[in-house]
Amino acid sequence: MSAVAIERAEAVAHLKFARVGPRKLRRVADAIRGKSVREALVLLKFAGVFASEPIEKLLRSAVANAENNHDMSSDGLFITRITVDGGPGGGMTKRLDPRAQGRAAFKRKRLSHVTIAVGPERPKRQPKQRSGAAISLKTRTQRQAQAASSKPATTRRKKKTATAAAAGTGA
């Protein structure tokens, strides 16, 4: 081995056995591939996709690895590599699905392995745009509606009954 090996400075984080299917995670991974860490975190934070949460946590872990283990500044980091691989599909999580004539079949609960690498330089090749790589950002009204729906249902019922009672007495 006379050739000098050039070591790429990048920090890596792994997520194994994520309880989300690989196709759902790949959609989010394709949307942030090659972007700066700051831009990717904003996309993941306000994405309307539930699969963005584990990838956001993993990206934060990779940034922390870069700061603590590789002495990199978190400001100028880019996502150099992100891969989503399928985990054991159904071997570990066994769930039964009832079938005709009293039979049963196993449900396939898919698992995933995700790897993210961040580095100070942009990737040499720009990632090609894929058809399913769009994740939509939640609008302000969608976030407000979600916040309103997460409140306890009992408070909303009391308001409705109070307005209904007021309407009933006025008639």
Is residue 31 domain-shared with residue 68, that is, in the same domain? yes
Identify the residue with better confidence: 160 or 34.
Answer: 34
Cβ atoms of residues 116 and 33 within 8 Å: no
Is residue 44 domain-shared with residue 92, that is, in the same domain? yes
Q: pTM for this structure?
A: 0.70
Q: What is the CATH number of the domain that holds 52?
A: 3.90.470.10
33-44 mean pLDDT: 92
**Domain of residue 74, residue span:** 11-96+104-138
Is residue 41 domain-shared with residue 86, that is, in the same domain? yes
Is residue 92 domain-shared with residue 145, that is, in the same domain? no
Q: Measuring CA to CA, which residue among 135, 133, 13 is closest to residue 82?
A: 13
Is residue 130 domain-shared with residue 147, that is, in the same domain? no
Is residue 113 domain-shared with residue 145, that is, in the same domain? no
Lowest mean pLDDT among 101-105, 112-116, 136-140, 158-162: 158-162
Assign 107 a pLDDT band (cuts: 50, 70, 90): confident
Is residue 110 domain-shared with residue 167, that is, in the same domain? no
pLDDT > 50? residue 110: yes
Which residues does 9 contact at the CB level (< 8 Å), separation at least 6? 70, 72, 119, 120
Is residue 71 domain-shared with residue 122, that is, in the same domain? yes
* H or E element, residue 95: strand 94-98
To the nearest whole percent, how much of the chain has pLDDT over 70? 75
pLDDT, position 2: 43
Domain count, the chain: 2
Is residue 119 domain-shared with residue 109, that is, in the same domain? yes
Q: Alpha-carbon distance 165 to 162, whole Å?
A: 5
Q: Alpha-carbon distance 60 to 49, whole Å?
A: 18
Q: Measuring CA to CA, which residue among 33, 40, 167, 22 is closest to residue 108?
A: 22
Assign 144 a pLDDT band (cuts: 50, 70, 90): confident
Instruction: Give the distance from CA 42 to its chain's centroid.
Output: 12
Does residue 82 belong to any structural domain of this protein?
Answer: yes
Q: Alpha-carbon distance 93 to 107, whole Å?
A: 9
Is residue 34 domain-shared with residue 113, that is, in the same domain? yes
Cβ atoms of residues 113 and 58 within 8 Å: no
Q: Alpha-carbon distance 57 to 64, whole Å?
A: 11
